A and B are shown apart, each in its own frame.
Chain A
Amino acid sequence: MRPAASVLLLTTATGFGFGLLAWLGAYSVLGLLPGHARVLIAAGVATSLLFASFGLGASMFHLERKERAWRAFSQWRSSWLSREGVAAVLTYPVAIAFAAVFWRDGPVIWTRLLGATALVASLGTVYCTAMIYASLKPIRQWHNRHTAADYLLYAVFSGAVLFATLRTLDLGAPGATASAAAAAAAGIALIAKRAYWRHIDAQTPLATLAAAIGLPKGIEARPLDAPHFTENYILRQMGFAIARRHAVKLRRIVLIIGFALPLALSILAGLTLAPMATTTLAVACTGVGLLLERWLFFAEATHVSAVYYGRRI
């Protein structure tokens, strides 16, 4: 599948934003935030909504007819893309109310409830995003049990490193809990990514060419003449293929920059070793690594319709 910049930015940035909001919500629910944390909450919610807005804004560039985007809120009964839009828009007022009530009242029952709602709403939005991909049956690398879990994990992970940075800005150090959480999330995300790659490498193509053209068993087919001599829309979108050797290299880069470095940096920050520098660097590494990871998620995905052109699926 062709990796479109708009979609890579959308999924990565909303992952950061809603992941951060989820951590703010979780901390509030667990009562880990003292009364003076209202600045942290306000700044955190603002940051998370900024990231989310950047991602949602980027996604607009994927639409050919942006002026009609409002129509996308209508089909939430069947479409995960529509649900994503509705969930994202519903998350905003919840997040703002959470920050506002915490600013006024501090950690009371209402802020805990609002924090819980923000946690559910933000992760719910990420889940909807993931299900857009996970529900597409023609793409075996997406239509599996890894996709939704992985998107949630990467959101929680990127939110955790962002949260650690905010804590450092607020208190001078991320604190043991936040840095441990970031390191643990990085480790789990790394294991999940490796498991995902193992899974898609072991998959077999969804169909043979013979099955795709309805031939009886025992008959083999190979392409003789294509319908057209130049690349068309289908081949540009669905026929995108990345060379295996590049994929292997890029996977290694993702594992190091996207997961291993943030893990190490989060541990260093937890040990109060230049926490400002280490947490900021962890965010930068996570951003670059996850963008590359998302690029691979698309570039390595194959669409069954390419089989009609005799391409690898």
Chain B
Amino acid sequence: MTMLPERAPGAKRLGLVIDLDTCVGCHACAVNCKEWNTGGEAGILPDYDKYGPEPDGVWFNRIHSYETDGQGCSRTVNVPRSCLHCEDALCVTVCPTGASYKRVQDGIVLVDTDKCIGCQLCSWACPYGARELDEEAGVMRKCTLCVDRIYDEHLPPAEREPACVTTCPSRARHFGDLADPDSKVSQLVKERGGVDLLAGLGYRPTNKYLPPRRATIPTAPAKPPAPGGKGIGAALLGLLDKALSR
């Protein structure tokens, strides 16, 4: 059913919080995402022209690197881009078949690949470019928030989080319930002023991004060089310094 579900009071809103300040742009999250999900329930994530000149394929997570100005210096900001599991997910409501849906219990947006007709309208409806067509199976694919990991009781509790989160070497990715104001992720969003991407479009994404902080480290003011002293010795040293500096 592609109507968006009524949010039950107390229902979870699972999502990611991504720290743009500490993301180093290593693409490890994208690689582990691909690794985990290519063995997932919905079948492999295809690659086309694997060893040819134009390799291409379906990835749920894409890492962009940007250069920014305006914080006193130019800097690199890495931005992982994946499904944001929006509250007002237009990709869900435009689906003509009911293949695209938002789960009532945790807000995860999923595609039922057994129902998808591959009309691709959902990919047009997503402003984040988070949905990619599986050109081999002819169905739309997207981030599942590793729904087959986070609830898997065969995994040790510490591993019940999305593959991208477990693998991030700089701990720039956080997973949790954003409907719970006391959760670790909600606190992080509050402390660091987490934001919505493309907030003006009104999709109300669940995932939040923590903006890069001002890249200045307070240091003591530089001291003027110590006076060289007086006398013939200092004058000779001054001469030597001049000669060597030439």
User: In the assembled complex, how far is the CB of residue B51 from the closest CB belonging to chain A, in whole angstroms?
Assistant: 13
Report which A residues bind B (CB closer than 8 A).
1, 62-66, 68-69, 71-75, 77-82, 85, 132, 135-139, 206-207, 209-216, 218-228, 230-234, 237-238, 303-306, 308-309
Q: Which residues of A lie under 8 Å from residue B67 when comparing CB positions?
A: 221-224
- Say whether B171 faces chain A, with CB atoms less than 8 Å apart: no
Q: Number of residue pairs across A and B with beta carbons under 8 Å?
A: 199
Residues of A contacting B25 in the complex (Cβ-Cβ under 8 angstroms): 225
Binding site for A on B (CB under 8 A): 1-4, 20, 25, 27, 30, 54-59, 62-71, 76-77, 79, 81, 90, 92-99, 115-121, 123-129, 132-133, 135, 138-139, 195-203, 209, 211-212
The answer to whether A137 touches B123, judged by C-beta atoms less than 8 angstroms apart, is no
How far does the alpha carbon of A62 sit from the alpha carbon of B195 in the complex, in Å? Answer: 37
Closest to B90 in A: A137
Contact yes or no, A224 B66, CB < 8 A:
yes
Which residue of chain A has its CB nearest to the CB of B1?
A75
Question: Chain B residue with minimal CB distance to A228?
Answer: B62
| A79 close to B2 (CB less than 8 A) | yes
Say yes or no: A64-B139 contact (C-beta < 8 A), given A69-B117, A74-B96, A303-B124.
yes
Output the nearest chain B residue to A219 by Cβ-Cβ distance: B70
The answer to whether B117 and A71 touch across the interface, beta carbons within 8 angstroms, is yes
Tell me how far the C-beta of A85 lies from the nearest C-beta in chain B, rounded to whole angstroms: 7
CA of A74 to CA of B98 in the docked complex: distance in angstroms? 7
Contact status of A233 and B132, CB under 8 A, knowing A75-B96, A214-B211: yes
Residues of A within 8 A of B65 (CB): 223-225
- The contact of A81 among B64, B77, B121, by CB within 8 Å, is B121
Q: Which residue of B lies closest to A216 (CB)?
A: B211
In contact, A214 and B196 (Cβ under 8 angstroms) = yes
Which residues in B have their C-beta under 8 angstroms from that of A212? 197-198
23 interchain pairs (CB within 8 A)?
A1-B124, A63-B117, A64-B120, A64-B135, A68-B117, A71-B98, A75-B98, A77-B3, A78-B2, A78-B3, A79-B93, A207-B200, A207-B201, A213-B20, A213-B66, A215-B212, A221-B68, A225-B25, A226-B64, A227-B62, A233-B58, A233-B133, A305-B128
